[in-house]
Amino acid sequence: MYDFSQLTGAIDAALHRSMTPGWALFTELVIIGLVVLILYALVGLFLVYLERKVCAFMQNRVGPNRVGPYGIIQTIADLIKLLMKELIPIARADKFLFNLAPFVVIIVSFMALAAIPFALGLQAIDLNIGVLYVTAVSSLGVVGILLAGWSSNSKYALIGAMRSGAQIVSYELSVGLSLLTVIVLAGSMQLSEIVASQADGWWIFKGHIPAFFAFIIFVVASTAEINRGPFDLAEAESELTAGFHTEYSGIKFAFFFLAEYMNMFIVSALGATLFLGGWMPFHIGHWEAFNHIMDFIPPLVWFLLKTFFLIYVIMWFKWTFPRLRIDQLLTLEWKYLMPLSLVNIVVVAFITLMGWHF
């Protein structure tokens, strides 16, 4: 299994030889920034295209197929269109906050992307409190949404922002608790450690019942946290026209739009890393031949396969279910997901103590 840290180590050594350590560190930071930026744009644009294609096939349509072969360049065309669109200044809006909100949302999803382990050693930053860092950063997103809702001086936006504020804050709990289950099983919060601990089997299998429940709660709660699927109350088009980003136009709207898709990618990447073994290939017990074949698929592809499977499930939710009302949404969280995840934590703690997990 190729270890990317050899590559990064070689680059680091080359840089240190050619320039002073301060400059070397600076160029490394610039390289990482560029790589993550390119990754951000690529994955974001591809996800928008994927969503439109998946939704089209589910609705007996063909989806974008005019711009470029099979419509691949459609999203780039959309981005250029949004870039050229005029940024309509809103009368009596709080100018500074109005322009700050999209950047807050984008930067937050940017920071969360840094901690995701794509392959062995291919990780922008490997904090030993990886999971805590990601949940903490992603909960900042709600600040950007509230800012957008309040500062665009429109009633629809304000109601949309209030709704999504209540929704994201309350679903943080279930997401946190379901991630906690795997941390208790794996024993550490460092993402590369967690992936390493799944070498002999993914946590969803090794942790059997509690891990499976935690996985289900995680998928439901994270769909709610990124304002998608049956929980997209913030921009419920049939009620509030477009919720908190009603008044945004041009590139500012593109930021919100892209950030929503990147949040979806981050959430499914997190789910894949913790529950489905990140870039670990799929091994079944002692079937050496089967495991050997599985190793042929490079770990990066394994990681992307699992993430895009989760993304497909989240899209599947959105295009099938009607929307929940705000009070039903909160009752679902406080009366169903919260008790279940609390019980789940107790069960998994008991199982790890007794050592009954595999």
Partner 1 sequence: MSEAVIRDIIVSESDDYIINMGPQHPSTHGVLRLEVSLMGETVKSVTPHIGYIHRGIEKMCESDSYQQIIHLTDRMDYLSAHMNNEAVCLCVEQALQVEVPERVKYIRTILDELTRLSSHQLWWSAFGMDLGALTTFFYGLRDRELILDIFEESFGSRLLHSFNTPGGLMHDVHPNFQKSVREYLKYFRKKLPEYKQLLTDNVIFRQRTEGVGVMNREMAISYGVTGPSGRGSGYSCDVRKIAPYSAYPLVQFEEKLQTAGDSYARYLVRMDEMWESMHIIDQLIDNIPAGDFTAKMKPVLKLPPGEYFQRVETARGELDVYIVSDGNKTPYRMKFRSPNFSNLFVLNELSAGGKIADLVAISGSLDLVIPDIDR
Partner 2 sequence: MNSILNYFKDIHHAVSTLWGGMRITGKYFVSPGEIVTHQYPENRDTLRMADRYKGEIIMPHDADNHHHCTGCGICEMNCPNGSIKVLTDRLPNAEGKMERVLNQHIYHLEMCTLCGLCVKTCPSGALAFGQQFEHAVFNRSKLTKTLNQPGSSLKKETKG
Contact residue for partner 2 among 11, 25, 41, 54 (CB under 8 A): 54
Contact residue for partner 1 among 20, 59, 69, 92 (CB under 8 A): 59
Query: Whole-angstrom Cα distance, residue 251 to residue 253?
Result: 5
Rg (alpha carbons) of the chain, rounded to whole number: 21
Residue 239 CB, shortest distance to partner 1, in Å, is 5
User: Which CB sits closer to partner 1, 3 or 237?
Assistant: 237
User: Which CB sits closer to partner 1, 61 or 95?
Assistant: 61
Residue 57 CB, shortest distance to partner 2, in Å, is 5
**Counting contacts by CB under 8 A, is residue 92 touching partner 1?**
no
**Counting contacts by CB under 8 A, is residue 4 touching partner 2?**
no
User: Which CB sits closer to partner 2, 63 or 243?
Assistant: 63
3-state secondary structure 224-288: HHCCCHHHCCCCCHHHHCCHHHCCCCHHHHHHHHHHHHHHHHHHHHHHHHHHCCCCCCCCCCCCH
Residue 202 near residue 195, CB atoms below 8 Å: no
User: Which CB sits closer to partner 1, 11 or 56?
Assistant: 56
Residue 316 contact among partner 2, partner 1, none, beta carbon within 5 to 8 Å by kind: partner 2
Look up residue 347 and give its amino acid.
V
**Counting contacts by CB under 8 A, is residue 238 touching partner 1?**
yes
Residue 215 near residue 178, CB atoms below 8 Å: yes
Closest CA to 207 of 180, 189, 171: 180
Look up residue 10 and give its amino acid.
A
DSSP 324: P
Residue 20 contact among partner 1, partner 2, none, beta carbon within 5 to 8 Å by kind: none
User: Which CB sits closer to partner 2, 6 or 320?
Assistant: 320
Q: 302: number of CA atoms within 13 Å, CB side?
A: 21
Contact residue for partner 2 among 2, 334, 336, 358 (CB under 8 A): 336
**DSSP letters along 5-48, please?**
HHHHHHHHHHHHHHS-HHHHHHHHHHHHHHHHHHHHHHHHHHHH
**Counting contacts by CB under 8 A, is residue 328 touching partner 1?**
yes
**Counting contacts by CB under 8 A, is residue 309 touching partner 2?**
no
**Counting contacts by CB under 8 A, is residue 52 touching partner 1?**
no
Query: Whole-angstrom Cα distance, residue 111 to residue 284?
Result: 35
How many residues form the binding site for partner 1 (CB under 8 A)? Answer: 28
Query: Whole-angstrom Cα distance, residue 339 to residue 328?
Result: 16
Contact residue for partner 1 among 22, 322, 353, 356 (CB under 8 A): 322
Angle, helices 155-186 vs 208-225, to 10°: value is 160
Residue 54 contact among partner 1, partner 2, none, beta carbon within 5 to 8 Å by kind: partner 2
Q: Tokens for 304? A: 């992307």
Contact residue for partner 1 among 6, 31, 61, 96 (CB under 8 A): 61
Interface stretch with partner 1, choices 44-52, 100-108, 156-164, 294-302 (CB under 8 A): 156-164
User: Which CB sits closer to partner 1, 45 or 236?
Assistant: 236
The residue ranges that bind partner 2 (CB under 8 A) are: 54, 57-62, 316-317, 319-321, 336
The residue ranges that bind partner 1 (CB under 8 A) are: 55, 58-61, 155-156, 159, 163, 230, 232-233, 236-241, 319-328
